[in-house]
Amino acid sequence: MAETTDPADVAAAELAAHPEFAEVPVIEADETVPPRPEEEIADVVRADPDRREAR
């Protein structure tokens, strides 16, 4: 018996065996939560390395 090595065939066989992997669920279709203040501060620090404290 020949083993299937075509990626599309292998993927189809795995999907048939495990239908729970059919589609990755989207946690939030539209992210409406504004960034937290600490995220904005971290973005500023990452954008300007000179603002980082010397260690």
Give tens-digit pLDDT for 14-51.
999 998 888 876 766 666 777 788 888 888 888 987 76
pTM as predicted: 0.36
More confident residue, 4 or 8: 8
Place of tokens 């501060």: 41
Give 40-52 as a 3 state SS string: HHHHHHHHCHHHC
Q: Would residue 43 count as lying in a domain? A: yes
Q: Is the pLDDT of residue 53 over 70?
A: no
Q: Phi and psi for 16 in degrees, rounded to 5?
A: -65, -35
Place of tokens 């990452």: 46
More confident residue, 6 or 31: 6
Q: Would residue 44 count as lying in a domain? A: yes
Q: Would residue 37 count as lying in a domain? A: yes
- CA atoms 29, 34, 39, 41: torsion sign: positive
Q: Would residue 16 count as lying in a domain? A: no
Q: Would residue 5 count as lying in a domain? A: no
pLDDT reported for residue 18: 92
| Tokens representing residue 34 in the block | 């504004």
Domain hosting residue 47, numbered range: 26-54
